[in-house]
Chains A and B, each alone.
Chain A
Amino acid sequence: MWNLTKNIFKVGIQTKNILQQTENVEVVGKQLAISINRHLGRALNIRMIDAGSCNGCELEINNINNPYYNIERFSVNFVASPRHADMLLITGPVTKNMREALLRAYEATPDPKLVVAIGDCAHCGGVFNSSDAVIGAVDKVVPVNVIVKGCPPTPMDIIQGILSALS
């Protein structure tokens, strides 16, 4: 426990370094926080749904919670149930096997719901588009507000996508 406490003090707050390290997370993040506050007056709750991805997009969505991006400080919260969500982040070419689960999660999300499709596969089916086992783009199954392209998109792209869905 003592070692861990020492480590916490030694490492310090890493988000300070971001301005030098990556493109303007601070700037986009502050806009995001303002936008969330204006529209919701509380935290933005996101439910992430993998509708058939290769797990590459999940890696980057996980990374927006790491100490460099730390999206939680801009009032963004990942929740476990679609019933608690304001926004769905959906990845993957939608597979035939995930279609029903995706539809049910979408229906369980209270209105007005925002949908952000993450990644090239969610955008257009990506390299899997011509396969018989996939339906393809997310908007073939549920309405989509914003598309974030990339294979996988970077954490910055994803944060930007969440912001543009709110504006």
Chain B
Amino acid sequence: MHIEIKHIETEVERQFELAQIYHDENAVLLTEWVAEEGWYTLYLSTKKELYCVRSQLKNENPYIVDLTAVFPVCARLQRAIFDLNKVPTQNTVDTRPWLIHDEQSYNFVKVGGEGVHEIPVGPIHAGIIEPGHFRFSVVGERVLKLEQRLGYTHKGIHQLLKNKSLEEGSKIIGRVSGDNTVAYAYAFAMACEQAVNAKIPFQISLLRGILLERERIVNHISDIGAIANDAGLPTLQASFNILKENFLQKNKIYANHRYLMDCILPFKNNIELSKLQLEEIRTELVQLSQRLKELECICQTHIGLQDRLQNTGIVTTALAMRLQALGIVAKASGFCFDVRKLLSIYPYSHFPVTNAETTTGDVAARVSVRFKESFESIELIRQFSRQLLSYSEVTRRSAVIPRSAGFGIGCVEGWRGPITVIVAIENNNLQWCHFHDPSWQNWPTLEYAVLNNIVADFPLINKSLNLSYSGHDS
């Protein structure tokens, strides 16, 4: 039931060559990081395998090589590596700090020419959202360039996780990005279980699947509502928010937490659902599904809304592939990459998901993917709960823990995209832990999605991606 990992050892200099080979095999780079043992890169291939490449760093003047030409996400990842580990990248162009903001000035790229002006936005935005800075270069109404500066919510979590117990670690990692808490805790548990080779009972995996899909549904509903609001329809958002609040109140009843925090722990779950509650969930979802279909019909037939959503903030398939976008952003652009399908881990190995794919890549496409995925998640929860009900005993059983040290990888398709967590465990404590949010890949996508759109459409486009600041800055 564990993820298949191919471990590869190579010299630092050879990593570029390997990156090219994996790129040609249509693999994506999930993340890269530096730990005590060296520099790691992690790839997910379409052959349903994970490649974990490790290179030992030199003791004196260690460095890593620049993979940006093959995998653009590395441009920011390697700046973060320098900030956090003080390991520089050889021959890199951009050496500006990324996560640590010690220096007062930051050199934004200047756009010249007649009539070009800049609009600086943030770090505190004009709404109830997270902080980050956007620098627009604009001619008239049109956006010529957007440059982001992130890192404002940097909380030093990678450093904080060192030498923590698995329980403490799980609590912290569940707060890397609050709206994605289930996916993070799930991926962390998966990594820990793999590290010590613990086998997880089916009941535990099924319940985790239910929680993960519930998180997907609530975020998708909320996002579609917020997009409608940004297109000038607050009454429509209100309808989505009613569904969301109902759903959150149910979460509170089932799991004693509205956002399902701290429900998943390594080797066990912190909650259990009775047979009665499983039946109740099934009834709840029938009603939700019916209501959501009505709202989907309203969205699709509202010409004013569609006029705002269609052809706005287009991310073409080619662009999504080049930037290696992940999750809903990629799916809306016809670049479908779903960990639930690719890694086939129970319960997803037995209850396959279909492609919620569209190809237009505009805001309307990202709304449509959210609807499709919500309906699919409803169906998955119904299947998982039916399966759980077929067991004579649905309650909690912890897994046996065979050893106290090891290296493990967990990867889960959160609602934004794949959440990856890697752990090295020693004496039942975290030696180190690396985690990665798909927002790393998707933030640069936003810089391209707004090009040639008008400034007034930026909130709509931004909302349609709804990326995590905290998950990225961490």
Q: Output the least CB separation between A99 and chain B (Å).
A: 10
Q: Does B259 contact A (CB under 8 A)?
A: yes
Contacts of B473 in A (CB 8 A): 97
Q: Are A97 and B171 in contact (CB under 8 A)?
A: no
- Quick one: which of A1-19 are within 8 Å of B by CB? 1, 3-4, 7-8, 11, 14
Q: What are the nearest 5 A-B pairs in CB distance?
A: A56-B178, A133-B156, A80-B126, A66-B241, A54-B178
Q: Are B241 and A67 in contact (CB under 8 A)?
A: yes
- Quick one: which of A27-76 are within 8 Å of B by CB? 48-63, 66-68
Q: Are A97 and B152 in contact (CB under 8 A)?
A: yes
Contacts of A54 in B (CB 8 A): 153, 175-178, 470
Q: Are A56 and B175 in contact (CB under 8 A)?
A: yes
Q: Which of B205-213, B293-301, B343-351 contacts A (4 or more CB under 8 A)?
A: B293-301
- Contact A59/B175 with A52-B153, A98-B131 known, Cβ cut-off 8 Å: no
Which one of A62, A130, A132 has the highest number of Cβ atoms from chain B below 10 Å of its Cβ? A62
Q: Output the least CB separation between A133 and chain B (Å).
A: 3
- Contact A52/B242 with A4-B233, A8-B235, A128-B157 known, Cβ cut-off 8 Å: no
Total interface residues in chain B, CB < 8 Å: 53
Q: Are A48 and B301 in contact (CB under 8 A)?
A: no
Question: CA A147 – CA B269 in complex, angstroms?
Answer: 31
Q: Are A11 and B242 in contact (CB under 8 A)?
A: yes
| Chain B residues packing against A (C-beta within 8 Å) | 100-101, 123-124, 126-131, 151-157, 159-160, 171-172, 175-179, 181, 233, 235-236, 238-239, 241-242, 244-245, 248-249, 258-259, 261, 294-295, 297-298, 301-304, 468-470, 473
Contacts of B159 in A (CB 8 A): 131-133
Can you give 20 A-B contacts (C-beta < 8 A)?
A1-B303, A11-B238, A14-B242, A48-B128, A52-B154, A53-B178, A55-B177, A55-B468, A56-B175, A59-B259, A61-B128, A67-B242, A68-B242, A95-B153, A97-B473, A101-B124, A128-B157, A131-B156, A132-B159, A151-B261
Q: Are A4 and B128 in contact (CB under 8 A)?
A: no
Q: Are B130 and A50 in contact (CB under 8 A)?
A: yes
Q: Are A95 and B304 in contact (CB under 8 A)?
A: no
Q: Output the least CB separation between A123 and chain B (Å).
A: 14
Apart from the given pairs A53-B470, A95-B153, A128-B155, 4 other A-B contacts in the complex at a CB distance below 8 Å: A22-B249, A55-B179, A63-B241, A134-B155
Which one of A1, A54, A56, A66 has the highest number of Cβ atoms from chain B below 10 Å of its Cβ? A54
Contacts of A55 in B (CB 8 A): 130, 177-179, 468-470
Question: CA A22 – CA B259 in complex, angstroms?
Answer: 17
Q: Does A161 contact B (CB under 8 A)?
A: no
> Which of B153, B238, B241 is A50 in contact with, Cβ under 8 Å?
B153
Q: Are B129 and A50 in contact (CB under 8 A)?
A: yes
Question: CA A21 – CA B468 in complex, angstroms?
Answer: 31
Q: Are B155 and A4 in contact (CB under 8 A)?
A: no
Q: Output the least CB separation between B1 and chain A (Å).
A: 30
Q: Are A134 and B124 in contact (CB under 8 A)?
A: no
Question: CA A24 – CA B154 in complex, angstroms?
Answer: 38
Question: CA A81 – CA B235 in complex, angstroms?
Answer: 24
- Contact A4/B235 with A21-B249, A52-B152, A133-B156 known, Cβ cut-off 8 Å: yes
Which one of B126, B152, B177, B181 has the highest number of Cβ atoms from chain A below 10 Å of its Cβ? B152
Question: CA A165 – CA B177 in complex, angstroms?
Answer: 28
Q: Are A1 and B304 in contact (CB under 8 A)?
A: yes
- Contact A3/B178 with A97-B101, A98-B152, A101-B152 known, Cβ cut-off 8 Å: no
Q: Are B153 and A53 in contact (CB under 8 A)?
A: yes
Question: CA A98 – CA B133 in complex, angstroms?
Answer: 11
Q: Are B124 and A93 in contact (CB under 8 A)?
A: no
Closest chain A residue to B226, Cβ basis: A62
Q: Output the least CB separation between A15 and chain B (Å).
A: 11
Closest chain A residue to B126, Cβ basis: A80
Contacts of A127 in B (CB 8 A): 171-172, 175
Contacts of B130 in A (CB 8 A): 50, 53, 55, 58
Which one of A7, A50, A53, A96 has the highest number of Cβ atoms from chain B below 10 Å of its Cβ? A50
Q: Are A78 and B128 in contact (CB under 8 A)?
A: yes
Q: Output the least CB separation between A10 and chain B (Å).
A: 9
Question: CA A1 – CA B177 in complex, angstroms?
Answer: 36
1/0 per residue A129-153: CB within 8 Å of B? 0111110000000000000000110
Q: Output the least CB separation between A121 and chain B (Å).
A: 8
Q: Are B152 and A66 in contact (CB under 8 A)?
A: no
Contacts of A22 in B (CB 8 A): 249
Q: Output the least CB separation between A154 and chain B (Å).
A: 7
Question: CA A132 – CA B159 in complex, angstroms?
Answer: 8
Q: Are B155 and A93 in contact (CB under 8 A)?
A: yes
Q: Are B301 and A3 in contact (CB under 8 A)?
A: yes
Question: CA A48 – CA B129 in complex, angstroms?
Answer: 8
Contacts of B304 in A (CB 8 A): 1
